[in-house]
Amino acid sequence: MTPIEPLTYQEYRPRKIVNVHKHVDGPWFWGKYSAHPYVGCRSGCAFCYCRGGRYLGRRDPATFNSLIQVKVNAVELLRQELAKLPRDIIACGDWQHPAECKYLLSRKMLDVVHEFKFPLFVVERSPLLARDLDLLVEIDRQSWVGVAYSISTLNPALKRAFEPHSPSPKQRLQTMERLAAKGIQVGTALMPILPCVGDSETHLEEVVRATREHGGSFVMAGGLTMDGLQAQTTLEAARRLEPALEARWRGLYDWAEGGKPSYSPAPDYAARIGLLVRELCERHGLADRLPRYVLPDHLADNKRIAEKLFLQTYELELQQARSYRVWAYRKAAWTVDELDRSIGTLYRERGEAGLRELPHVGQKLAARIAGWLEEEKLLPPTGS
Protein backbone atom coordinates (compact mmCIF):
# COMPACT_ATOMS: atom_id res chain seq x y z
CA MET A 1 0.00 0.00 0.00
CA THR A 2 1.28 3.45 -0.89
CA PRO A 3 2.16 5.61 2.14
CA ILE A 4 -0.24 8.39 3.05
CA GLU A 5 0.94 11.91 3.84
CA PRO A 6 0.47 13.55 7.27
CA LEU A 7 -2.93 15.21 7.59
CA THR A 8 -3.46 18.94 8.12
CA TYR A 9 -6.72 20.81 8.73
CA GLN A 10 -7.28 24.39 7.62
CA GLU A 11 -10.37 26.06 9.05
CA TYR A 12 -12.00 28.90 7.13
CA ARG A 13 -15.31 30.72 6.73
CA PRO A 14 -16.64 30.83 3.17
CA ARG A 15 -19.31 33.31 2.13
CA LYS A 16 -21.74 30.67 0.84
CA ILE A 17 -22.25 26.93 1.04
CA VAL A 18 -25.04 25.92 -1.35
CA ASN A 19 -24.31 25.41 -5.03
CA VAL A 20 -27.44 26.06 -7.08
CA HIS A 21 -27.05 24.14 -10.31
CA LYS A 22 -28.29 25.66 -13.53
CA HIS A 23 -30.09 22.42 -14.42
CA VAL A 24 -31.03 19.32 -12.44
CA ASP A 25 -28.60 16.46 -13.16
CA GLY A 26 -31.06 14.08 -14.79
CA PRO A 27 -31.07 11.19 -15.44
CA TRP A 28 -28.40 10.58 -12.78
CA PHE A 29 -28.80 11.82 -9.21
CA TRP A 30 -31.57 14.41 -9.80
CA GLY A 31 -29.90 17.02 -7.60
CA LYS A 32 -30.69 20.72 -7.90
CA TYR A 33 -28.47 21.81 -5.02
CA SER A 34 -25.29 20.63 -3.32
CA ALA A 35 -23.54 21.62 -0.10
CA HIS A 36 -20.38 20.08 1.34
CA PRO A 37 -18.45 21.05 4.48
CA TYR A 38 -14.92 19.93 3.53
CA VAL A 39 -12.55 20.49 0.61
CA GLY A 40 -10.09 17.67 0.04
CA CYS A 41 -10.47 14.01 0.94
CA ARG A 42 -8.36 11.71 3.09
CA SER A 43 -9.15 8.67 0.93
CA GLY A 44 -7.29 10.28 -1.98
CA CYS A 45 -8.46 7.82 -4.65
CA ALA A 46 -6.27 8.07 -7.75
CA PHE A 47 -9.25 8.41 -10.10
CA CYS A 48 -11.19 11.07 -8.17
CA TYR A 49 -12.33 13.89 -10.48
CA CYS A 50 -12.19 16.34 -7.54
CA ARG A 51 -8.38 16.51 -7.67
CA GLY A 52 -8.42 19.65 -9.78
CA GLY A 53 -10.56 22.26 -11.43
CA ARG A 54 -13.21 24.25 -9.62
CA TYR A 55 -13.39 21.89 -6.65
CA LEU A 56 -9.94 22.74 -5.24
CA GLY A 57 -9.90 26.31 -6.48
CA ARG A 58 -6.39 27.76 -6.50
CA ARG A 59 -4.80 25.40 -4.01
CA ASP A 60 -2.15 22.87 -5.02
CA PRO A 61 -3.88 19.68 -6.30
CA ALA A 62 -1.02 17.64 -4.82
CA THR A 63 -2.48 18.43 -1.34
CA PHE A 64 -5.82 16.81 -2.19
CA ASN A 65 -5.60 14.07 0.44
CA SER A 66 -3.22 15.72 2.93
CA LEU A 67 -4.94 19.09 3.48
CA ILE A 68 -8.61 19.17 4.47
CA GLN A 69 -10.15 22.64 4.40
CA VAL A 70 -12.99 22.87 6.89
CA LYS A 71 -15.92 25.24 6.38
CA VAL A 72 -16.47 25.96 10.05
CA ASN A 73 -19.57 28.08 9.35
CA ALA A 74 -21.14 25.46 7.07
CA VAL A 75 -24.16 24.85 9.30
CA GLU A 76 -25.14 28.48 9.81
CA LEU A 77 -24.68 29.18 6.08
CA LEU A 78 -26.82 26.20 5.14
CA ARG A 79 -29.62 27.38 7.43
CA GLN A 80 -29.53 30.90 5.97
CA GLU A 81 -29.47 29.74 2.36
CA LEU A 82 -32.05 26.93 2.49
CA ALA A 83 -34.50 29.38 4.06
CA LYS A 84 -34.46 31.33 0.78
CA LEU A 85 -34.54 28.44 -1.71
CA PRO A 86 -37.46 26.48 -3.18
CA ARG A 87 -37.48 22.92 -1.90
CA ASP A 88 -35.73 20.45 -4.16
CA ILE A 89 -33.21 17.63 -3.87
CA ILE A 90 -29.95 18.61 -2.23
CA ALA A 91 -26.75 16.56 -2.24
CA CYS A 92 -25.35 17.29 1.18
CA GLY A 93 -22.60 16.28 3.60
CA ASP A 94 -19.31 14.41 3.47
CA TRP A 95 -18.75 11.50 5.83
CA GLN A 96 -15.01 11.09 5.33
CA HIS A 97 -12.90 9.94 8.24
CA PRO A 98 -11.33 11.51 10.24
CA ALA A 99 -12.60 15.01 9.33
CA GLU A 100 -16.24 14.25 10.08
CA CYS A 101 -15.39 12.44 13.32
CA LYS A 102 -13.56 15.56 14.49
CA TYR A 103 -15.97 18.30 13.32
CA LEU A 104 -19.42 16.61 12.99
CA LEU A 105 -20.43 19.13 10.31
CA SER A 106 -22.22 16.62 8.07
CA ARG A 107 -24.30 15.43 11.01
CA LYS A 108 -25.24 19.01 11.89
CA MET A 109 -26.06 19.80 8.24
CA LEU A 110 -28.52 16.90 8.23
CA ASP A 111 -30.31 18.62 11.11
CA VAL A 112 -30.78 21.68 8.89
CA VAL A 113 -31.98 19.61 5.92
CA HIS A 114 -34.51 18.01 8.25
CA GLU A 115 -35.54 21.38 9.67
CA PHE A 116 -36.37 22.77 6.22
CA LYS A 117 -37.85 19.50 4.91
CA PHE A 118 -35.61 19.23 1.87
CA PRO A 119 -35.28 15.87 0.12
CA LEU A 120 -31.71 14.58 0.40
CA PHE A 121 -29.34 12.70 -1.85
CA VAL A 122 -26.04 11.26 -0.64
CA VAL A 123 -23.28 9.62 -2.68
CA GLU A 124 -20.69 8.10 -0.36
CA ARG A 125 -17.84 5.68 0.10
CA SER A 126 -17.82 5.93 3.88
CA PRO A 127 -19.56 3.54 6.32
CA LEU A 128 -19.63 6.46 8.80
CA LEU A 129 -22.96 7.41 7.21
CA ALA A 130 -24.58 4.72 9.38
CA ARG A 131 -23.82 6.86 12.44
CA ASP A 132 -26.58 9.22 11.30
CA LEU A 133 -29.16 6.59 10.42
CA ASP A 134 -31.61 8.08 12.92
CA LEU A 135 -31.60 11.45 11.13
CA LEU A 136 -31.70 9.88 7.68
CA VAL A 137 -34.82 7.95 8.67
CA GLU A 138 -36.49 11.14 9.92
CA ILE A 139 -35.66 13.04 6.71
CA ASP A 140 -36.93 10.12 4.63
CA ARG A 141 -40.15 10.04 6.65
CA GLN A 142 -40.97 13.69 5.97
CA SER A 143 -39.65 13.93 2.40
CA TRP A 144 -37.11 11.54 0.83
CA VAL A 145 -33.58 10.20 1.14
CA GLY A 146 -31.65 8.51 -1.65
CA VAL A 147 -28.19 7.05 -1.13
CA ALA A 148 -25.75 5.74 -3.72
CA TYR A 149 -22.72 3.90 -2.43
CA SER A 150 -19.78 4.49 -4.74
CA ILE A 151 -18.13 1.17 -5.61
CA SER A 152 -15.76 0.76 -8.54
CA THR A 153 -14.79 -2.85 -7.94
CA LEU A 154 -14.89 -5.65 -5.42
CA ASN A 155 -11.52 -6.93 -6.63
CA PRO A 156 -8.89 -6.50 -3.86
CA ALA A 157 -6.00 -5.95 -6.28
CA LEU A 158 -7.83 -3.15 -8.10
CA LYS A 159 -8.88 -1.62 -4.80
CA ARG A 160 -5.25 -1.56 -3.62
CA ALA A 161 -4.08 -0.04 -6.89
CA PHE A 162 -6.58 2.77 -7.33
CA GLU A 163 -8.06 3.51 -3.90
CA PRO A 164 -5.82 1.98 -1.22
CA HIS A 165 -6.95 4.34 1.56
CA SER A 166 -10.72 4.31 1.02
CA PRO A 167 -13.10 2.28 3.21
CA SER A 168 -13.45 -1.35 2.15
CA PRO A 169 -16.26 -2.33 -0.23
CA LYS A 170 -17.40 -4.83 2.41
CA GLN A 171 -18.00 -1.98 4.88
CA ARG A 172 -19.87 0.00 2.25
CA LEU A 173 -22.13 -2.95 1.43
CA GLN A 174 -22.82 -3.62 5.10
CA THR A 175 -23.89 0.01 5.53
CA MET A 176 -26.05 -0.26 2.42
CA GLU A 177 -27.80 -3.21 4.02
CA ARG A 178 -28.48 -1.23 7.22
CA LEU A 179 -29.95 1.67 5.24
CA ALA A 180 -32.13 -0.61 3.13
CA ALA A 181 -33.43 -2.34 6.27
CA LYS A 182 -34.77 1.05 7.40
CA GLY A 183 -36.60 1.60 4.11
CA ILE A 184 -34.15 4.10 2.61
CA GLN A 185 -33.74 3.96 -1.16
CA VAL A 186 -30.15 2.87 -1.66
CA GLY A 187 -28.06 1.40 -4.42
CA THR A 188 -24.67 1.54 -6.08
CA ALA A 189 -22.92 4.16 -8.14
CA LEU A 190 -20.70 1.78 -10.12
CA MET A 191 -18.27 4.58 -10.83
CA PRO A 192 -15.74 4.84 -12.23
CA ILE A 193 -15.64 1.58 -14.14
CA LEU A 194 -11.96 0.84 -14.74
CA PRO A 195 -11.28 0.10 -18.42
CA CYS A 196 -9.64 -3.16 -19.43
CA VAL A 197 -9.24 -4.43 -15.85
CA GLY A 198 -12.59 -3.80 -14.14
CA ASP A 199 -15.10 -3.75 -17.00
CA SER A 200 -15.61 -7.44 -17.75
CA GLU A 201 -19.00 -9.05 -17.27
CA THR A 202 -17.59 -11.01 -14.33
CA HIS A 203 -16.36 -7.87 -12.53
CA LEU A 204 -19.55 -5.92 -13.15
CA GLU A 205 -21.91 -8.74 -12.23
CA GLU A 206 -20.07 -9.21 -8.95
CA VAL A 207 -20.99 -5.64 -7.96
CA VAL A 208 -24.58 -5.95 -9.23
CA ARG A 209 -25.12 -9.21 -7.35
CA ALA A 210 -23.63 -7.80 -4.14
CA THR A 211 -25.89 -4.75 -4.40
CA ARG A 212 -28.98 -6.93 -4.63
CA GLU A 213 -27.79 -9.17 -1.78
CA HIS A 214 -27.36 -6.12 0.46
CA GLY A 215 -30.76 -4.57 -0.18
CA GLY A 216 -29.87 -2.15 -2.97
CA SER A 217 -32.46 -1.35 -5.62
CA PHE A 218 -30.35 0.15 -8.42
CA VAL A 219 -26.89 0.19 -9.98
CA MET A 220 -25.82 3.13 -12.14
CA ALA A 221 -22.79 2.72 -14.36
CA GLY A 222 -20.34 5.54 -14.99
CA GLY A 223 -17.11 5.52 -16.96
CA LEU A 224 -13.67 6.74 -15.96
CA THR A 225 -13.01 10.34 -16.91
CA MET A 226 -9.54 11.74 -17.53
CA ASP A 227 -8.60 15.34 -16.79
CA GLY A 228 -5.48 17.17 -15.64
CA LEU A 229 -3.69 15.86 -12.56
CA GLN A 230 -6.38 13.22 -12.02
CA ALA A 231 -5.55 11.70 -15.43
CA GLN A 232 -1.88 11.49 -14.48
CA THR A 233 -2.47 9.93 -11.05
CA THR A 234 -4.89 7.39 -12.52
CA LEU A 235 -2.51 6.43 -15.31
CA GLU A 236 0.35 6.06 -12.81
CA ALA A 237 -1.79 3.72 -10.71
CA ALA A 238 -2.67 1.69 -13.80
CA ARG A 239 1.01 1.50 -14.80
CA ARG A 240 1.98 0.20 -11.34
CA LEU A 241 -0.76 -2.41 -11.52
CA GLU A 242 0.03 -3.61 -15.02
CA PRO A 243 2.53 -1.77 -17.26
CA ALA A 244 0.78 -2.88 -20.45
CA LEU A 245 -2.32 -0.96 -19.38
CA GLU A 246 -0.76 2.36 -20.28
CA ALA A 247 -0.80 1.72 -24.02
CA ARG A 248 -4.36 0.37 -23.92
CA TRP A 249 -5.63 3.35 -21.96
CA ARG A 250 -3.82 5.82 -24.20
CA GLY A 251 -5.56 4.26 -27.15
CA LEU A 252 -8.96 4.32 -25.46
CA TYR A 253 -8.61 8.02 -24.55
CA ASP A 254 -6.79 9.11 -27.73
CA TRP A 255 -3.95 10.19 -25.46
CA ALA A 256 -0.65 10.75 -27.24
CA GLU A 257 2.59 11.06 -25.30
CA GLY A 258 2.97 14.70 -24.28
CA GLY A 259 -0.64 15.46 -25.19
CA LYS A 260 -3.97 15.57 -23.35
CA PRO A 261 -6.45 12.70 -23.12
CA SER A 262 -10.06 12.82 -24.21
CA TYR A 263 -12.23 13.48 -21.18
CA SER A 264 -14.23 10.27 -21.71
CA PRO A 265 -13.68 7.04 -23.60
CA ALA A 266 -15.27 6.64 -27.03
CA PRO A 267 -19.10 6.64 -27.15
CA ASP A 268 -19.23 3.05 -28.43
CA TYR A 269 -17.30 1.87 -25.35
CA ALA A 270 -19.59 3.81 -22.97
CA ALA A 271 -22.69 2.45 -24.72
CA ARG A 272 -21.43 -1.13 -24.57
CA ILE A 273 -20.73 -0.90 -20.84
CA GLY A 274 -24.05 0.84 -20.15
CA LEU A 275 -26.00 -1.86 -22.00
CA LEU A 276 -24.07 -4.61 -20.23
CA VAL A 277 -24.82 -3.13 -16.80
CA ARG A 278 -28.49 -2.78 -17.77
CA GLU A 279 -28.60 -6.43 -18.81
CA LEU A 280 -27.00 -7.46 -15.52
CA CYS A 281 -29.43 -5.33 -13.53
CA GLU A 282 -32.38 -6.91 -15.32
CA ARG A 283 -30.91 -10.33 -14.60
CA HIS A 284 -30.81 -9.55 -10.88
CA GLY A 285 -34.02 -7.55 -10.58
CA LEU A 286 -32.48 -4.08 -10.18
CA ALA A 287 -32.94 -0.76 -11.96
CA ASP A 288 -30.08 0.88 -13.83
CA ARG A 289 -31.27 4.39 -12.95
CA LEU A 290 -32.20 6.04 -9.67
CA PRO A 291 -35.95 6.78 -9.80
CA ARG A 292 -36.63 10.47 -9.35
CA TYR A 293 -38.23 11.75 -6.19
CA VAL A 294 -40.94 14.28 -7.04
CA LEU A 295 -42.27 16.74 -4.49
CA PRO A 296 -46.07 16.60 -4.30
CA ASP A 297 -46.74 20.18 -5.38
CA HIS A 298 -48.37 21.99 -8.32
CA LEU A 299 -45.31 21.35 -10.52
CA ALA A 300 -45.15 17.60 -9.91
CA ASP A 301 -46.43 16.90 -13.45
CA ASN A 302 -43.48 18.82 -14.87
CA LYS A 303 -40.96 16.79 -12.89
CA ARG A 304 -42.48 13.47 -13.94
CA ILE A 305 -42.57 14.40 -17.61
CA ALA A 306 -39.05 15.86 -17.44
CA GLU A 307 -37.86 12.57 -15.90
CA LYS A 308 -39.17 10.71 -18.95
CA LEU A 309 -37.39 13.13 -21.27
CA PHE A 310 -34.13 12.85 -19.33
CA LEU A 311 -34.35 9.05 -19.38
CA GLN A 312 -34.78 9.20 -23.13
CA THR A 313 -31.46 11.05 -23.43
CA TYR A 314 -29.79 8.10 -21.74
CA GLU A 315 -31.58 5.65 -24.03
CA LEU A 316 -30.36 7.55 -27.07
CA GLU A 317 -26.80 7.61 -25.74
CA LEU A 318 -26.90 3.85 -25.31
CA GLN A 319 -28.15 3.59 -28.89
CA GLN A 320 -25.28 5.86 -30.00
CA ALA A 321 -27.79 8.20 -31.60
CA ARG A 322 -26.69 11.41 -33.25
CA SER A 323 -25.86 14.11 -30.73
CA TYR A 324 -28.54 16.45 -32.08
CA ARG A 325 -31.21 13.91 -31.11
CA VAL A 326 -29.81 13.56 -27.60
CA TRP A 327 -29.66 17.33 -27.22
CA ALA A 328 -33.21 17.74 -28.49
CA TYR A 329 -34.51 15.64 -25.60
CA ARG A 330 -32.14 17.21 -23.09
CA LYS A 331 -33.19 20.76 -23.96
CA ALA A 332 -36.86 19.79 -23.87
CA ALA A 333 -36.29 18.16 -20.47
CA TRP A 334 -34.76 21.36 -19.13
CA THR A 335 -37.66 23.39 -20.51
CA VAL A 336 -40.30 21.21 -18.89
CA ASP A 337 -38.39 20.79 -15.63
CA GLU A 338 -37.96 24.54 -15.21
CA LEU A 339 -41.42 25.59 -16.38
CA ASP A 340 -43.09 27.83 -13.80
CA ARG A 341 -46.61 26.55 -14.49
CA SER A 342 -48.06 23.05 -14.61
CA ILE A 343 -47.59 21.36 -17.95
CA GLY A 344 -50.66 19.27 -17.17
CA THR A 345 -52.76 22.42 -16.83
CA LEU A 346 -51.27 23.82 -20.01
CA TYR A 347 -52.18 20.65 -21.88
CA ARG A 348 -55.69 20.59 -20.45
CA GLU A 349 -56.33 24.17 -21.51
CA ARG A 350 -54.57 24.30 -24.89
CA GLY A 351 -53.77 20.73 -25.93
CA GLU A 352 -50.74 19.94 -28.09
CA ALA A 353 -50.80 23.44 -29.55
CA GLY A 354 -49.84 24.82 -26.13
CA LEU A 355 -47.04 22.28 -25.76
CA ARG A 356 -45.62 23.16 -29.17
CA GLU A 357 -45.17 26.77 -28.09
CA LEU A 358 -42.73 25.80 -25.33
CA PRO A 359 -39.03 26.42 -26.11
CA HIS A 360 -37.28 23.34 -27.56
CA VAL A 361 -40.55 21.39 -27.79
CA GLY A 362 -41.53 20.85 -31.41
CA GLN A 363 -44.31 18.85 -32.99
CA LYS A 364 -42.88 15.38 -32.39
CA LEU A 365 -41.93 15.99 -28.77
CA ALA A 366 -45.25 17.73 -28.08
CA ALA A 367 -47.07 14.63 -29.31
CA ARG A 368 -44.89 12.40 -27.16
CA ILE A 369 -45.43 14.53 -24.07
CA ALA A 370 -49.17 14.55 -24.72
CA GLY A 371 -49.09 10.75 -24.89
CA TRP A 372 -47.31 10.54 -21.55
CA LEU A 373 -49.76 12.95 -19.93
CA GLU A 374 -52.69 10.88 -21.12
CA GLU A 375 -51.08 7.58 -20.09
CA GLU A 376 -50.63 8.92 -16.57
CA LYS A 377 -54.10 10.51 -16.63
CA LEU A 378 -52.59 13.90 -15.90
CA LEU A 379 -55.30 16.44 -16.72
CA PRO A 380 -56.49 15.27 -20.17
CA PRO A 381 -57.03 18.04 -22.73
CA THR A 382 -60.34 19.71 -23.54
CA GLY A 383 -59.17 20.12 -27.12
CA SER A 384 -56.16 20.81 -29.29
In this model, does residue 4 exceed pLDDT 80? no
Closest CA to 305 of 332, 274, 325: 332
Same domain, 255 and 344: no
| CATH classification at residue 88 | 3.20.20.70
The per-residue pLDDT for 58 is 80
CA distance linking residue 256 with residue 265, whole number of Å: 14
CA 295 to chain centre: 19
| CATH classification at residue 367 | 1.10.150.110
Looking at the 3D structure of the chain, how many domains does it have?
2
Torsion of CA 192, 196, 202, 206, to 10 degrees: -20
The per-residue pLDDT for 62 is 85
The per-residue pLDDT for 1 is 57
Instruction: Supply the Cα-derived Rg of the chain in whole angstroms.
Output: 22
Same domain, 215 and 341: no
Dihedral sign for Cα atoms in the order 47, 292, 54, 123? negative
Owning domain of residue 214: 8-283
Same domain, 215 and 350: no
Q: Is residue 321 part of a domain?
A: yes
Same domain, 324 and 263: no
Closest CA to 325 of 315, 316, 314, 336: 316
Same domain, 20 and 114: yes
Q: Is residue 382 part of a domain?
A: no
Same domain, 318 and 172: no
Same domain, 206 and 324: no
CA distance linking residue 276 with residue 72, whole number of Å: 44
**pLDDT tens digits for 50-98?**
886 677 778 888 899 999 999 999 999 999 999 999 999 999 999 999 9
**pLDDT tens digits for 209-234?**
999 999 999 999 999 999 988 999 99
Helix axes 300-318, 363-375, angle to 10 degrees: 120
Q: Where are the alpha helices (DSSP H) in 264-299?
A: 267-283
